[in-house]
Structure formats: structure tokens, C-alpha cells
Amino acid sequence: MQPYPEPMKSLVEAICTRYGGTVAAVLLYGSCLRSGDPLSGVVDLYVLVDNYTQVYPSRWLVLASRLLPPNVFYLEARRDGQVVRAKYAVLTQRDFARGMRWFQSYLWGRFAQPCRLLYRRDPETSAWIAGCILEAMRTFVRRIAPLCPACFEAGELWRRGLMLSYLSELRTERAEIRAKELVAWAEEFYQAVTLPLLGELPWPLREEGGQIYLSIPLWVRVLAKMRWLAAIFLGKLLSLLRLIKASFTFQGGVDYLVWKLERHTGKKLELPAHVRRYPLIYGWGMLWRWYRKGVFR
């Protein structure tokens, strides 16, 4: 583990206080990781725990975690007079490991990217997380390589995969633009890991002058395209369900969603009082109207 900005400690301490010894690890990813400034926005964290029943007093929260993980919550903490804000997702270690191989890219698409371990219960947990992240990268490359042309460069693999991962969720950002930004930010990382990961695939591989040549059978490519069409459809549906669930688990979740959409799109969004009060009943129509207007894709 490397040192991290001082204000981040207050978040880790608050989470460990809230959930006690059941916390196995806390992982940082997202925009605040890339900026290096936890005060510049809302910090994105993943909290890995032993068991949902030990974490939640409410049975419906346990059920929600099992049916559609993860549950997402909001947290504020103070340190040296500064307020640091976070949204954090709670997953069991078992669900985290399974997510590195899921049909849908919700987890392995995130953790194939650089992330940071803020807390681990013991050294064995560090090694286990490293193995999970390696599995995420393997899944990413295995699913994306058949979609690349016969000759490509390393950045193309990751840009294409991150773009598809974004397209399989409801997002305000343009997928192509964000994928380019993410790859540019961690270009050295992606250059270093691409060839070793491609070398694990069962197809002939060679590299010349930065160009990668990979001979993949046509039927594998066709199957990969069909898989992604299904994954994008399913992913958007699950993303919508997670948004609705977050409106109950995330303090101020509806208002946070509106703030985030306005921040990314520059559009002023009106949220009627009845939608804020009963999002599960009236939110569907509002989300559909926003979708038709191109607020998210």
C-alpha cells in the first residue's frame, strides 16, 4: 500500500468504525483517484466485507445486496476542518471475486483499470485482491480482443473495451471520449500489461513495431459481438435498477443523481416534488424523458 492524501484517512476510519471487523478492504477508484485530490469531488470507494448479514441490520438491504449487488451509500467525514465526501459500494469478498468473471462488465470493467488499496485487514487480503484484479484484466482482454481488428496497438484494445463497458451502463459521458481519456491517463500501465495478458490467450500472437497481430477464428469474433450486444442491453437494464435501488440506500440519492447529471451535461434538470418523494413510483417516467432528451445514454 502507498501513502494517500490525508483527508482520505477520515473516510477509511469512518467506514471501519461503521462496519467493524467485518471490513476486509477498502478500494479507491474513479475521478478522485485520477486527480489525486479527494476534495475535488465525491470519492468513489468499494468496501469489501465478509458477510452482508453482519453489515446490515435490515433484511431488505441484505436481500437487495444478494439480488443486485452492490448497495451504494453516501458518507461525509471531517479532518482538519475539511469535509471529504464519498459514495461507497459494499460487496462481500465472494461477490467481488465473482464479479471479475461476470457476463456483464460492471465490476471487471472497473477493476481492469488502475485502482488503489486504501485499507486491508491483513497481508493475505492484499494478495487476494491482487489476484482478483489480475482476473479482471484477464476477463477484459479475453472479451475484447476478438472485437479488435487482426492488427491493432495496445491502446486500441483498452479504448474499445472501456467504451463498450461505458455503453453497457446508463452514462452521461460520451463513451468514446471518456475511454480515450482513461487510456491516456494510464497509458504506461496499459502498455505494460497488454502483451503478457494477450499471451495467455489460445491464439497465435506476434508484435512488430508496436503493432499487435492476433489470429482469432471468425466464429470466435462473431460470438464475441453477439455476447456484447446482449451485455449492453442487460447492462442498461441493470444500471436502471441500480439507480432506483440507490434512491433508497443513498442518502439524498435522487438529488445526487440530478446533481451528477447536471454536472456532466451542463443542463438544468427540474425534479418535481412528487418524484423526489416517491422515486420508485414516478421516477420511471422522468428517467425515460431524460433519456429521450439525451441526458444519459
Count of all residues that appear for the chain in the document:
297
158 vs 190: CA distance, rounded Å: 7
Burial of 53 (0-12, 13-18, 19+ CB in 10 A): middle
Domains of the chain from N-terminus onward: 6-251 (3.30.460.10)
Q: Which helix (H) or strand (E) holds 205?
A: strand 205-208
Q: What is the pLDDT of residue 171?
A: 76
> Checking phi first, is residue 36 left (phi over 0); if not, alpha (psi -120 to 50) or beta?
left
The answer to whether residues 119 and 12 touch, using CB atoms and an 8 Å cutoff, is yes
* Res 260: pLDDT: 59
The confidence score (pLDDT) of residue 263 equals: 56
pLDDT given at position 139 = 98
Q: What is the pLDDT of residue 61?
A: 87
C-alpha span between 291 and 128 (Å, rounded) = 39
pLDDT value for 82: 78
Q: What is the DSSP string of 208-256?
A: ETTEEEE---HHHHHHHHHHHHHHHHHHHHHHHHHHHHHHHHSTTHHHH
The whole-number pLDDT of residue 197 equals: 97
Long-range contacts of 157-163 (CB under 8 A, 24+ apart): 157/190, 157/194, 157/198, 157/212, 158/182, 158/183, 158/190, 158/194, 159/183, 161/109, 161/112, 162/109, 162/113
95 touches 51 (CB < 8 A): no
Residues of the chain with pLDDT under 50: 1
Report the DSSP pairing between strands 205-208 and 151-152: unpaired
pLDDT of residue 175: 86
Say what the pLDDT of residue 286 is. Answer: 65
pLDDT at 246: 74
pLDDT at 243: 75
CB 290 within 8 A of CB 297: no
Q: Cell 478522485 identifies what position?
A: 32
**Per-residue pLDDT reduced to its tens digit, 32-72:** 888 888 877 789 999 999 999 999 988 888 988 898 999 98
Dump strand ranges (E) for 32-170: 42-49, 71-79, 82-92, 116-120, 151-152
The model's pTM is 0.85
**pLDDT by residue (tens digit) across 143-164?**
999 999 999 999 999 999 999 9
User: ∠255-51-49 over CA atoms, to 5°?
Assistant: 65
* Neighbouring residues of 150: CB distance < 8 A, sequence distance ≥ 6: 213, 214, 215, 216
